[in-house]
Amino acid sequence: GDAARQDVQRWRARSCAVLTGIGTVLADDPQLNVREIAVERQPLRVVLDSALRISPSARIVQGGQTLIYTVSADTLKRDALTACGAEVVVLPDVAGQVDLLTVLRNLAQRGIYEVLVEAGKTLNGALLRAGLLDELVLYLAPQLLGDAARGLADLGELTQLEQRVELVWQEVRHVGGDLRITARIRHV
C-alpha cells in the first residue's frame, strides 16, 4: 500500500546506494531514487547488467548518479550510457556474470557501506546463496496472489534441510495495512 511505499522511500534515503539487477530494470523501468522525502543527497543507483542490455533511455540512467557493473566489452553501448551520465565499470567475466563479491568490494572502496537491494528473485537468490546479505526487510500485504506471483529469491532446488537460509526475526511492524518484517540472516 501507500504507507509501505513511503516506508521504502525512507529506507532508500538512509542508504548509500540502491542495488538492482537488469531483470528489474527491464521489467519495471524503476527510478530507485528518493522522491517523497527531502534529502541532502540521493543514493547512488547501482545496476548489475552482465550483457549491457540497459537502454540509455531507462529512467534509472536519467537524472542522478548511476553506476552500472558489467562484463560486456561492448564499447558502443558503454559510450552511449556514459554520454547519459552513467558510470560503467567492466569487471572480469565469471561464467558470463558479474562477480557479486567484487561489486561489493568495489562499492566499499568508494565508501559505500550500506546498500539497499531492490531486486527480483534472480539477484536476491544469488546474493543469499553467496552469503552476501545481512538483513531482509520484507513487506507483506494482506493478499494471496497464487503461484504466478513473483518469488522473493531463487535459491535453486533445496533438497536437504541443511541448504535452508535461516532467519532471526528482528521486528514485525504494521505499516499502513501491510506488515514490515525485518530479519537478520543467520550465516551458518
3-state secondary structure of 79: helix
What pLDDT score does 152 carry?
87
**This prediction's pTM:** 0.93
CATH number of the domain bearing residue 139: 3.40.430.10
pLDDT tens per residue, range 54-109: 999 999 999 889 999 999 999 999 999 999 999 999 999 999 999 999 999 999 99
**pLDDT score recorded for residue 157:** 80
Position 188 scores a pLDDT of 67
Domains contained in the chain, number? 1
Residue type, 109: Q
Residue ranges of the chain whose pLDDT lies below 70: 188
Containing domain of residue 7, as a range?
A: 2-186
Contact between 33 and 45 under an 8 Å Cβ cutoff? The reply is yes
Listed in sequence order, the residues at least 6 apart from 25 whose beta carbon sits closer than 8 Å to its beta carbon are: 47, 49, 54, 58, 60
Assigned C-alpha cell, 136: 531482509
Map 42-88 to HEC letters: CCEEEEECCCCCCCCCCHHHCCCCEEEEECCCCHHHHHHHHHCCCEE
